[in-house]
Structure formats: structure tokens, C-alpha cells
Amino acid sequence: MLRRTFLALAAGVATIGLAAGAASAQELPKLKQKDKYKVGFAQTESNNPWRIAQTESMKAEAAKLGHQLVYTDAAGSAAKQVADVNSMIAQGVDLIFLAPREEKPLIPAVMAAKKAGIPVVLLDRNVDQSLAKAGKDYVTFIGSDFVDEGRRAAEALDKATNGTAKIIQLEGTTGSSPANDRRKGFEDYIKNKPGMKIIASQSGDFARDKGRQVAETLLQAHPDATAIYAHNDEMAIGAISALEAAGKKPGKDVQIVSIDGTRDALQAIIDGKMLATVECNPKFGPKAFETLARYAKGEQIQPWVVNTDRFFDKSNAAQLISDAY
């Protein structure tokens, strides 16, 4: 009896192992060539100008090409975003564009789409590369070099302060690839700059008001801060309000560097309240649908389709603000 039970259990384990192996060995889903597609776009949130600009770009390009766009907004919830993707799978979309809120929680959504035979293209944020890989589990990641964005922000601050700064870092959404990589790029740069020290670091969740609140708290705890590095412009604008409320002059008493390239940030640079911002272009529509068409044709898509980003400071902000979002 015990022997039969053991053999049955062993057979069950072997079956599960074979099934798991088969799932992991499953090829990346193909995309048939046709004139019009039903495409999903799972947005992470719509609480800031960057996200709104990205969504408008995706909707405009889909309309221009005559594709049906199934749009969802996760409202900042990874769990809802997973559910959104599952709903798109149930609706039988041809391909899913996914802007994952966080690196790990969206892995099940990517794998569910793959299992259902629906290709996924990641936009602006990546997933954990140890758990899912481009070219195997999803088609590609279209986005900026977040590490380089952080490095460029640090370089600008270094030059402006002659390598001496006590820095407050306002981080993006905890666990998101932009927050992880923008922190890495900045911190890697200042490792060899003994006069540049991060004296406090906390998440402002990429939101203006949250950034203001966090900046107020950290400025009270560290009144000697001479610089603020924000992972996006919304938090930087919030930090400007916090500095002014504390009786400090942003751009003079405290230098601010950021990332995104929004109209409000460029205006702050023009007004002398902000040092610089590194662009992170939100207009993904053309590149996203161009990648869809290339994939449908059977072209080899590189694992990372890199967006090229500009740099804005007092030398060009006034000239380029009309192009900002």
C-alpha cells in the first residue's frame, strides 16, 4: 500500500514537472498579419501629465491606423492591472501593450497572456528579468534608459554645485523599474564624488502632492539640504512648493534636478526654480504600433527598443517648451 502511494505521488510530481517544463518551453506567441487589430493597452495610472500624454499618444495612433484599442487604467493598483490583463485575454485581443506598475507583481499577467497565445509588448516600465525575458516570454520592452537618466541628472547637479551637495532624494513608486534604475544611475555616479551625499531618501510615488508632503517632512528633518533629486517632474514641482512654504528659494538655496521633461518643469527652469530635467518621452504611440507591425511581419525585434531622450536646462528650456506636454 505504502509502495503504491509512493509511486502514485512520484508519478504526480513527474507530471507536474513535465507540465511546468512544457509551459516554460512554450514559444513566444506569433501575431498574424492583417489590416486591423484588436489591441489591449493596460495603463498603470492616470494621475499625472506624463501618463495622460502617453495614453493620448496610444489612443491617437490606434485611431489613425484604424485599430480597436481596449484601454484600461489600473489606478495605481498592481492587482487591478493583473485583472485588467486577464480581462483583455478573455476578450480575445490580438496583442497587449502593458505598462507594468511594478517589476514582480505583473509577471503572472505576462505569463497568462503568453499561455493564452497573446504576445505582450512592455511600455516604459520593465518586469523582473530573472522571472520573464524579452524574446521568450514577451516580445520586447520599449522605453528609456532609466539608469542613464539618473546618471545625467547626477552629472548636471555635480557640475552646478562643483561636486558639493547634501541631497534629498524623492523616489518613484517602490518596486518599479524607473524608480530602481533612476536611483541606481544617480547613486552610481556620486559614489566617486565624496562631496555629494544623499542625506535622506523616500518614495513620493511619482505624485506631485505626495512629493510635496515627503519633501516637507524631509526638509524639516534635514534643514541643511542643498539639493533635491526627484525621480520625476511631478515630485520636483511638489518639492518646489515645499521649499517655498519653508521660506527657502528653490534654484538658489536648494538646487533641483529631475526627470521627465514636462511643460511645468521647463517653466520652472525658465523661472530659475529648477536646475534641469532629463527627458523621458511619453509619446509611445508611433513606436509601439510600428513595433506591432514589424512583429507581425516576422521581423526580429530587439529585446529593448530604446527611446532617445533629450536634456533640458536654462540653455534650451525657453526654446523647447512649446514642444513639451
Question: Does residue 14 carry a pLDDT above 50?
Answer: no
Which residue type is seen at 211? Answer: G
Give 223-279 as a DSSP string: TT--EEEESSHHHHHHHHHHHHHTT--BTTTBEEEEEE--HHHHHHHHTTS--EEEE
CATH superfamily for 146-280 is Response regulator (3.40.50.2300)
Residue 60 CA: distances (Å) to CA of 13, 133, 144, 291, 293: 50, 29, 21, 16, 16
pLDDT per residue as tens digits for the range 256-303: 999 999 999 999 999 999 999 999 999 999 999 999 999 999 999 999
Q: What is the dihedral sign for C-alpha 280, 211, 159, 250?
A: positive
CB within 8 A of 174, min separation 6: which ones? 102, 203, 205
Task: Give me the residue spans of the domains in the chain.
Answer: 38-144+282-307, 146-280
| Number of neighbours of residue 10 by Cβ within 10 angstroms | 10
Q: Quickly tell me which residue has 526627470 as its cell.
A: 259
What are the grid coordinates assigned to 229, written together?
533629486
Indicate the SS3 state at residue 45: coil
Max CA separation in the chain (angstroms): 83
> Phi and psi at residue 132, in whole multiples of 5°?
-150, 140
pLDDT band at 26 (very low <50, low <70, confident <90, very high): confident
pLDDT per residue as tens digits for the range 123-154: 999 999 999 999 999 999 999 999 999 999 99
Q: Compute the half-sphere exposure of residue 198: CA atoms within 13 Å on the CB side of its CA.
A: 18
Q: Helices 146-161 and 177-190 sit at what angle, rounded to 10 degrees?
A: 40
pLDDT per residue as tens digits for the range 88-104: 999 999 999 999 999 99
Q: Do domains 38-144+282-307 and 146-280 have the same CATH topology?
A: yes
| Number of neighbours of residue 115 by Cβ within 10 angstroms | 12
Question: Does residue 13 carry a pLDDT above 50?
Answer: no
Alpha carbon distance 244, 242 (integer Å): 6
Residue 144 CA: distances (Å) to CA of 104, 121, 316: 19, 14, 21
Cβ pair 41, 69 in contact under 8 A: yes
The average pLDDT across 169-176 equals 96
pLDDT band at 25 (very low <50, low <70, confident <90, very high): low
Residue 197's pLDDT is: 98
Residue (of 57, 132, 106, 53) closest to 288 by Cα position? 57
Beta strands in the chain (DSSP E): 38-43, 68-73, 95-98, 120-123, 140-143, 165-171, 196-203, 227-230, 255-260, 276-279, 304-306, 311-312
Quick one: 56 exposed, middle or buried, by C-beta within 10 A (0-12, 13-18, 19+)? middle
Selecting from 3.40.50.2300, 2.40.50.140, 3.40.1390.10, 3.90.850.10, what CATH number does the domain 38-144+282-307 have? 3.40.50.2300
Q: Quickly tell me which residue has 511619482 as its cell.
A: 206
Q: End-to-end CA distance of the chain, in Å?
A: 72
